[in-house]
C-alpha cells in the first residue's frame, strides 16, 4: 500500500514509518519539522516538509495514496492549558483540513493517533472501548475527543474508512521531545546523570506502558480493516510508576534519590487497557515486556552520551 504518515519525523511516527517499510509498504512522510527530526525519517521513505495548515497544497501531497496514518499533533498537556487556541488550531483544525483534503484527493482510509486521555477518570479497570468518554481536564485531551468526532463524521459523510487508536503510555528509544514531558525518558536521563528522579504522587499511580515498536505495529495491523473502529493499544498490564523507577535502577545497577514533587492536578490514580478487541480483529498483541523495553530504552539514552 501507499501510505502517507503525518508527523512521521516524530518519536512514534518514525517508528511507524520503519515498521511500514519493513512490511513492504511505500511510505511518504509529511512533517513540518516543528517538533520532528529529519534524521529520524528512514532513507527509504519519501519526505515532504509541509504543514497541514496549508490546505491548498494538501490534496496534491495526498494524491495516489491508499491511506493516511495521522500522527501530527502537539502533545504537551501543560502547554495546552497555557495556549488552548494554539492546540485547537493545530490539533483539531489541521486535522479537519487533512480530512477534507483526503476527501478531495480520494484517499479512502485514515488511521488516527488518539489517546487514552479521552476516557478521563476511568469508571472501571481495565478500560474498554465501549466505556464512556470522560470530561477532559486539559485542552490536549479535548483536542483528541474533538478530532475523533471529526474522523467519525467524515466516515459517516463520505465513507472514509476510519480506525482510531487510543494509545496508553508509549515509551522507548528515539523519544527526543523538547521539552520532554513523559515520565520514562525523564527518569532514565536523571538516573544516568545520577540526579534525583522527579516523581509525582510518590510513584503510586498505575499506568499501562506500551513499548513503541509494539505500538507502531498496531498501525500496520489495522490497515486491512474497513468501516469505523476504535481500539485501545496498551500492554494490558498496570504498573506502579515507582516500580518503573525500580526497574530502571535495577538495570543500571545503582540507586538514585527520589525528588518528591507531591500531587499533580489532573492525574488519574490508575489507567490500564483492555486491548483484546484489537487482538481479536487483527491478531496484534504486545510482545515486548516492560523490563526488556526499559533495558532497550536505557541503552538508547546511554548511547547519546
Distance CA 225, CA 236 (A): 22
φ and ψ at residue 288, rounded to 5 degrees: -100, 115
Single out the catalytic residue among 140, 154, 167, 230: 140
According to DSSP, residue 167 is labeled E
Rounded CA-CA distance 87/83 in Å is 7
Cell of 171: 515509551
Per DSSP, helices labelled H in the chain are 11-22, 58-62, 77-82, 84-87, 94-105, 139-158, 183-192, 212-221, 241-252, 276-282, 290-303
Q: Is 200 a catalytic residue?
A: no
* Bridge-based pairing state of the strands 206-207 and 239-240: antiparallel
What's phi and psi for 211, nearest 5 deg?
A: -65, 140
Distance CA 34, CA 37 (A): 8
| Active site amino acids | 140
Amino acid at each position: 500500500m501507499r501510505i502517507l504518515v503525518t508527523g512521521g519525523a516524530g518519536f512514534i511516527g518514525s517508528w511507524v514509518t520503519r515498521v511500514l517499510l519493513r512490511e513492504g509498504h511505500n511510505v511518504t512522510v509529511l512533517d513540518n519539522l516543528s517538533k520532528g527530526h529529519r534524521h529520524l525519517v528512514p532513507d527509504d521513505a519519501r519526505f515532504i516538509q509541509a504543514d497541514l495548515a496549508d490546505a491548498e497544497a494538501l490534496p496534491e501531497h495526498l494524491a495516489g495514496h491508499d491511506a493516511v496514518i495521522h500522527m501530527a499533533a502537539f502533545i504537551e498537556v501543560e502547554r495546552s492549558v497555557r495556549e488552548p487556541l494554539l492546540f485547537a488550531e493545530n490539533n483539531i483544525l489541521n486535522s479537519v483540513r487533512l480530512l477534507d483534503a483526503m476527501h478531495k484527493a480520494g484517499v479512502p482510509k485514515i488511521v488516527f493517533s488518539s489517546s487514552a486521555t479521552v476516557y478521563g477518570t476511568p469508571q472501571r479497570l481495565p478500560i474498554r472501548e465501549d466505556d464512556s468518554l470522560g470530561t477532559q481536564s486539559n485542552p490536549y485531551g479535548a483536542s483528541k475527543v474533538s478530532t475523533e468526532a471529526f474522523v467519525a463524521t467524515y466516515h459517516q459523510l463520505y465513507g472514509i474508512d476510519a480506525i482510531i487508536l487510543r494509545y496508553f503510555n508509549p515509551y522507548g528509544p528515539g523519544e527526543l521531545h523538547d521539552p520532554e514531558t513523559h515520565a520514562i525518558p525523564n527518569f532514565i536521563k536523571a538516573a544516568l546523570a545520577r540526579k534525583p528522579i522527579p516523581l509525582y504522587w510518590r510513584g503510586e499511580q498505575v499506568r499501562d506502558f506500551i513499548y513503541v515498536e509494539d505500538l507502531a505495529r498496531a498501525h500496520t495491523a489495522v490497515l486491512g480493516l474497513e468501516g469505523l473502529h476504535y481500539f485501545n493499544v496498551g500492554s494490558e498490564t498496570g504498573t506502579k510508576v515507582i516500580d518503573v523507577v525500580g526497574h530502571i535502577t535495577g538495570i543500571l545497577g545503582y540507586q538514585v534519590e527520589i525528588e518528591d514533587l507531591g500531587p499533580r492536578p489532573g492525574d488519574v490514580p490508575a489507567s490500564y487497557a483492555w486491548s483484546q478487541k484489537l487482538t481479536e480483529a487483527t491478531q496484534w498483541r504486545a510482545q515486548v515486556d516492560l523490563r526488556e523495553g526499559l533495558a532497550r530504552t536505557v541503552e538508547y539514552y546511554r548511547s547519546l552520551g
